[in-house]
Amino acid sequence: MSELHELDATAQAAALRSGEVSSVELVEHHLGRIATHASELGAFVTVTAEQALVRAAEADAQIASGGAPPFAGVPTAFKDLTFTRGTQTSMGSAAMRDFVPGVNAYVVDLVEAAGFISLGKTNTPEFGLSSYTDNDVIGPARTPWDPARNAGGSSGGAAAAVAAALVPVAQGSDGGGSIRIPASACGIFGFKPSRGRVSAGPVGSDWSGLAGDGPLARTVRDAAALLDAMAHPEPGDVRPLPEPPVPYAEWARRPPRRMRIARWSRTHLEGIRPSADAIDAWESASRLLESLGHEVVDIDNPFPSELEPQFNVIWSSGIASAAIPLEAEAVLRPNTRYWRDRGRASTAIELTQALQFLELTTRQVVTDLQAYDAFLTPTLALPPQPVEWFNESGDPVEDHHRELLFTPYTALYNMSGQPAASLPLHWTADGLPMGVMLAALPGQDGPLFSLCAQVEAAAPWHDRRPPGFA
């Protein structure tokens, strides 16, 4: 059998069921990799080794009894924004360093019900605000392909952990690209589901419609299986999508029908252009899709530039409303204070207008795109950037500008509610990963998984590992 960490989660589950390995052995193996590599990468804020080993022993007993859930005993991890009962959950903030929730996020209960065992909490920027991961709790998350460069954000610790095979799969969340950005920067697969696909309950809120949980994985089939575990509405959800009639893992095994795929590379932001590396990745993916029999059509970017300032009103209002004690304001990072100040300056009327503008505008965009089955763009405009690049000026305005230079594509699909995935199909001459993004119409998560799995089969990436983390 391959080294345990070389197996994806689906193969690990099969090895557990066949008795080739025990969950205790599997968890101990991954905890050993975390002990060796996690500090270098800034991947974990908290490691819950003792708790994980107890659950591994329980999983072994379940498997022996024949009544185990499908992924009983397989390691995973939860983002440090995600409430986990009895476990430190810092939100990436020194102000929340000692916070221990008394309740699980619903997605934690669902993932654990599928049998996965959490090994800890993965690194995230303060309150998930940035497209790069850095904070005053443990510092930056780094891509295993070059630890001098940031892993992306805000699910940067999760992506680094999966890319370095510290865990086979991990939960992330995405309000403006926070799954797809680090997936691209770390050379793995990341999937943002359709709006309403994963519940924000019981204490989270989907008030803006921008954010939701999703999977980060080394294989499409693992991402589909993890989303199958997550995609169950909770009673009272504001925007619930119905239970998928066909599991996403099944969609990932189905060949897609011939699709009409629209592509564009021009950003919707004046003066912001993709790098040559981003264009190379996008052109290569276009040729691959055509070779698989799909029709690839060039169109203009359908999203107008006016979305950006309205998105910022909503984004800043969200952090401005966060229940942070006044006495803790002084320990917040400058970027967090900047966004809180912007949110406080917006009126209720301006927030309402921004929400309405996003809904009306993206509804029209989606209506205009009905002639197509999927959409192809670069994931990011730039390759992974040096750890200090985003905030080296110390000016939050410049920080925000650099984030737009880095990621001008991803947030559009949060605004429209479309499913979107980053696929690790390209590496630069310097050996840095550059993802491409495939998206579908709202609710078409299943066909998108089929397309992604077909692409993966044609251009496999699972065995491509970052040097030093094999």
Using DSSP, state whether 420 is helix, strand or coil.
Answer: strand
CA distance 152 to 179: 9
Instruction: Identify whether the C-beta of residue 294 lies closer than 8 Å to the C-beta of residue 375.
Output: no
Catalytic residue at 121? no
Express the helix, strand and coil content of the chain in percent, nearest 5 each. Answer: 40, 15, 45
Do the strands 295-298 and 260-263 form a parallel or antiparallel pair, or are they unpaired? parallel
CA dihedral sign, ordered 440, 458, 292, 435: positive
Q: Which amino acid is at 169?
A: V
- The residue whose two tokens read 């819950």 is 48
Q: Which residue is catalytic, options 22, 23, 130, 178?
A: 178
CA dihedral sign, ordered 397, 302, 380, 320: positive
Say how many residues make up the chain. Answer: 470
Catalytic residue at 65? no
- Select from 430, 411, 428 the least CA-distant residue to 420: 411
Using DSSP, state whether 354 is helix, strand or coil.
Answer: helix
CA distance 76 to 25: 15
Using DSSP, state whether 112 is helix, strand or coil.
Answer: helix
Q: Which tokens in the block code for residue 276?
A: 């040559």
What is the distance in angstroms between the CA of the first residue and the CA of the last residue of the chain?
15
Using DSSP, state whether 382 is helix, strand or coil.
Answer: coil
Catalytic residue at 346? no
Q: Which residue is catalytic, options 90, 130, 154, 184?
A: 154
CA distance 191 to 149: 22
Using DSSP, state whether 31 is helix, strand or coil.
Answer: helix
Q: Which residue is catalytic, options 79, 93, 199, 416?
A: 79
Count Cβ atoms within 10 A of the Cβ of residue 219 and give its class: 0-12 exposed, 13-18 middle, 19 or more buried: buried
| Active-site residue list | 79, 154, 178
